[in-house]
């Protein structure tokens, strides 16, 4: 799963935007395959990771336009800006995507989201998009 994610990210370098699919020709989205379209487990793990609430969520921060990127964490509180995580500086916008995937694999308990963890708001995306 990790290898597939890495390969997808590497193949997306140069694309403005990216997804976890493999470009047949690196940097060219004309033909894509693999990744989330073929690896069901990878697909579901990524969806689980993406659905987490904003508090403490990992994010990418561009620190110099087209030159430098770093990883940060959202505060989840209005008016409190994200904070940088670690000192690693990336020279492209795709590599932090893979590192965040690895960090989340380490941070999430293997049993995350099982029915026995039910509570009010279980799996609710506390995304601050008002529910009415």
Partner 1 sequence: MSWMRLTGYADKFGVHPGDTIKFYINCDGPKQYDARIVKMIHGDTNPRGPGLIERAVRSPVTGTYKGRKQVIHSGSYGFVEDKPQFHLKSFTLQCWVWPTAPKTHPKYWKHGAQGLVTKWHNNKGYGLFINEDGCAELRINGKKITTGAPLRDHAWHFLAASYDAKTGKATLYHEPQIIYALDPEVKPVSAKLAAPRHDSSPVVIAGYTGQHSNAATARSSLPSGILISGMYNGKIDSPRVCNRALSRAEIETMKLGAQRGMTERRNAGPTGALSETIVAAWDFSDGIDTAVGRDHGPYLFDAQIVGCPTRAMTGHNFSGNNFDWKHAPEEYGAIHFHDDDVDDARWEVDFEWTVPKGFESDSYCVKLTSKEGDEDYIPFFVVPRVGEEQAKIAVMIPTISYMAYANEHLANNAGGAELLVYRVPIMQQQNMFLSEHREYGGSIYDTHTDGSGLCLSSRLRPILSVRPKYDHFLMQSPWQYPADLHLIYWLDKLGYKYDIITDEDTNYDGLARLENYNVVITGSHPEHNSGPQLDALHDYTQQGGRLMYMGADGFYWVHSYHPAYEHLGRGVITEMRRCESGIRTWRADPGEYYHQSTGELGGMWRYRGRYLHSVAGTGMSSEGFDISSYYSRTEESNDPRISWAFKGIKYDEKIGNFGLVGGGAAGTELDIVDTMLGSPPHTLVGATSAGRHTEAYLLVMEDFGFNQQGLDGTQHPRVRSDIAYHETPNGGGCFAFSSIAFCGSLPWNNGDPKKNNISRLVKNVLDRFAKDGPLPAAPNSSFKHRGRADYDPPMNKKRK
CB-CB contact of 70 with 90 (8 Å): yes
Task: Please report, as residue ranges, which positions from 76 to 105 form the binding site for partner 1 (by CB under 8 A).
Answer: 76-82, 93, 96-97, 100
Residue window 48-67: x/- pattern of binding to partner 1, with contact defined by CB under 8 A: --xxxxxx-xxxxxxx-xx-
Number of residues located near partner 1, criterion CB under 8 A: 56
- What whole-number distance in Å separates Cα of residue 72 and Cα of residue 4? 24
Q: How far is the CB of 106 from partner 1 (least distance, A)?
A: 15
Binding of partner 1 by 113 (CB under 8 A): no
Burial 1-39 (b: 16+ CB within 10 A, else e): eeebbebbbebbeebeebbbbbbeeeeebeebebbbeeb
Measured from the Cβ of residue 96, the count of other Cβ atoms closer than 10 Å reads: 23
Our finding on whether 6 is near partner 1 (CB under 8 A) is no
Interface contacts to partner 1, rule CB under 8 A? 12, 14-21, 27-30, 32, 36-37, 43, 46-47, 50-55, 57-63, 65-66, 69, 72, 74-82, 93, 96-97, 100, 125-130, 132
């Amino acid at each position: 799963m990790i290898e597939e994610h890495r390969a997808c990210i590497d193949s997306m370098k140069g694309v403005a935007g990216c997804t976890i699919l493999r470009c047949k020709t690196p940097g060219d989205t004309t033909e894509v395959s693999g990744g989330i379209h073929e690896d069901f487990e990878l697909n579901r793990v990524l969806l689980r990771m993406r659905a987490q609430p904003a508090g403490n969520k990992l994010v990418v921060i561009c620190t110099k336009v087209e030159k430098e990127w770093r990883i940060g964490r959202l505060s989840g509180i209005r008016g409190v800006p994200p904070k940088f995580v670690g000192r690693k500086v990336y020279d492209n916008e795709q590599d932090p995507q893979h590192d965040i995937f690895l960090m989340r694999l380490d941070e999430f308990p293997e049993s995350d989201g099982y029915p026995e963890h039910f509570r009010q708001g279980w799996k609710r995306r506390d995304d601050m998009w008002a529910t009415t």
